[in-house]
Chains A and B, each alone.
Chain A
Amino acid sequence: AQSVTQLGSHVSVSEGALVLLRCNYSSSVPPYLFWYVQYPNQGLQLLLKYTSAATLVKGINGFEAEFKKSETSFHLTKPSAHMSDAAEYFCAVDRAGGTSYGKLTFGQGTILTVHP
């Protein structure tokens, strides 16, 4: 069984400040981990993914995340927030393995607000 917990349903930062969105996962098998972003009235866009290669993963728009197995975490960071980063962010876990049919389990989402 898999689960994802995102700490903080709302995060507010100033433009230019560090963005930190927290994600902890639980998985009985080695996980693949993903961050998706959803802008208002749009679909889910993949930001970055961890698929058992490098533990520090860089994604689009300056975001990165670090897989920490000992902490079962996959927190999302960006050094300097931009107004255009305002959106809802979802962490998700999948079962690893090439033969798996796969099934994403999502966290509840974190709404990021960026103020001037």
Chain B
Amino acid sequence: EPEVTQTPSHQVTQMGQEVILRCVPISNHLYFYWYRQILGQKVEFLVSFYNNEISEKSEIFDDQFSVERPDGSNFTLKIRSTKLEDSAMYFCASRTGTANYGYTFGSGTRLTVV
């Protein structure tokens, strides 16, 4: 069964450093997402991406965050200057043209900012 692949599975970074989280969505999917889950809290929507542009973003997704689909297969989330409160599990998800098919999530990247 097709999978969404995320790398790395764990990343530790120092506060103020830039990080890039990588995702390879399922090849025929059209919509791409990032969600995050702070330990002990809900899974929260960060951003959706369609047709090479952001279609919606949450309040969390401020100027420190950016997304890119540089080569038609990878989908990246960049955090420009990490803060302690960015420590969380970050999930990438993708889906086909309609929500009928549901979303396929990757296994996540656990980001720890120290």
Residue B61 lies at the interface, judged by CB distance under 8 Å to chain A: no
Q: Evaluate contact between A51 and B108: CB separation under 8 angstroms.
A: no
B residues 91-111 with Cβ under 8 Å of A? 91, 93, 95, 97-100, 102-108
Q: Chain B interface residue count: which class?
A: 20 to 34
Nearest chain-B residue to A44 (Cβ)?
B105
Q: Which of A62-70, A74-82, A100-108 contacts B (4 or more CB under 8 A)?
A: A100-108
Q: Chain A interface residue count: which class?
A: 20 to 34
Residues of chain B within 8 A (CB-CB) of A44 are: 43, 91, 93, 105
C-alpha spacing A107/B42, complex, angstroms: 6
Tally of contacts, chain A with chain B, CB under 8 A? 66
Residue B35 lies at the interface, judged by CB distance under 8 Å to chain A: yes
C-alpha spacing A108/B44, complex, angstroms: 10
Q: Evaluate contact between A43 and B44: CB separation under 8 angstroms.
A: no
Q: Evaluate contact between B48 and A43: CB separation under 8 angstroms.
A: no
With A104-B35, A104-B103 known, 14 other A-B pairs at CB within 8 A are A34-B103, A43-B106, A46-B104, A46-B105, A49-B100, A51-B99, A90-B43, A101-B55, A101-B56, A102-B31, A104-B93, A106-B44, A108-B41, A109-B42
29 A-B pairs with CB atoms under 8 Å apart are A32-B99, A32-B100, A42-B107, A43-B6, A43-B107, A43-B108, A44-B91, A44-B105, A90-B43, A92-B43, A96-B99, A98-B97, A98-B98, A98-B100, A101-B31, A101-B48, A101-B50, A101-B56, A102-B99, A103-B33, A103-B45, A104-B35, A104-B45, A104-B93, A105-B45, A106-B43, A106-B44, A107-B42, A108-B42
